[in-house]
Amino acid sequence: MKIRNAFTTASRVLVTGGLLASLSLGAHAAALFTLKGQTLDTRLPSEGEVRVSMLGWTEPDKADAVVEQYRQFLANNDAAALSKFLQQQDTKGYLFTKEATGYTIKYAWKSDDELNPRMVLLVTPALKTRNPYMWKQKNESTAPFTLIEVQTKGEEMLMSTSVDTPIEINLQGDLELQDAAAVFARLRDDTPYYLKQSS
């Protein structure tokens, strides 16, 4: 009996230690920041919540690879090949709506330009495809992703998407929207206080 109790105690210590280690690792993967707001594109106003949680930014060489794969998609329209490639990329954050499952951010860059501070995100699968019936208009694009641009306007951030605006490759070789005038959602900073303190 004592041997069994000792084994049980040791097992509990190992499990507890493993849990604490997992929590510690999770802390290192905490979001850089979180945005939260509303979209008017849903059929029901109560389903209009949008949240973005950013973990980091895509490294230049990996960003170049994403752009090259996008060029190939434009040439061959092979959505399956592009989707497979994107799934293999590092996840840089998440976008959540009231759909049951969120979207993963597989490409992300930002500009701190004082005249046009913004960030550009690529989410998979394509936006509005988790639950097409939740939205006023369906996403008819054949692309397995949606490109999102978030512009900072004072305390508010305006989100536009490639569902409404074509994508282009800028002079720096980055993906962006041709025109971010059509607003999909209005967001504000919703980063937890403890994360702001630790940043």
pLDDT the model gives residue 124? 98
Long-range CB pairs of 42-45, under 8 A, 24+ apart, other chains included: 42/97, 42/98, 42/134, 42/135, 42/136, 43/133, 43/134, 43/135, 43/136, 44/134
What is the spatial distance between Cα 33 and Cα 52, in angstroms, rounded to a whole number?
Answer: 8
12 pLDDT more than 80: no
Q: Comparing 14 with 74, which gets the higher pLDDT?
A: 74
Work out the mean pLDDT of the chain and round it to a whole number. 86
- Mean pLDDT calculated for residue range 66-71: 98
- Mean pLDDT calculated for residue range 102-106: 98
pLDDT the model gives residue 21? 36
pLDDT the model gives residue 30? 73
- Mean pLDDT calculated for residue range 21-42: 71
What is the spatial distance between Cα 17 and Cα 3, in angstroms, rounded to a whole number?
Answer: 21
pLDDT the model gives residue 50? 98
> What's the one-letter identity of residue 82?
L
97 pLDDT more than 90: yes
DSSP H helices, 51-189, are 60-76, 79-87
Residue 197 banded pLDDT, cuts 50, 70, 90: low
- Residue-wise pLDDT for 80-95, tens only, equals 999 999 999 999 999 9
DSSP H helices, the chain, are 2-28, 60-76, 79-87, 193-198
Residue 198 banded pLDDT, cuts 50, 70, 90: low
Q: Where are the domains of the chain?
A: 1-29, 31-198
Question: Shortest CA distance to 65 belongs to which of 178, 176, 175, 145?
Answer: 175
Residue 112 banded pLDDT, cuts 50, 70, 90: confident
- Residue-wise pLDDT for 150-194, tens only, equals 999 988 999 999 999 999 999 999 999 999 889 999 999 999 877
Q: Which two tokens stand for residue 168?
A: 């282009």
Cβ pair 125, 143 in contact under 8 A: no
- Residue-wise pLDDT for 114-136, tens only, equals 888 999 999 999 999 999 999 99
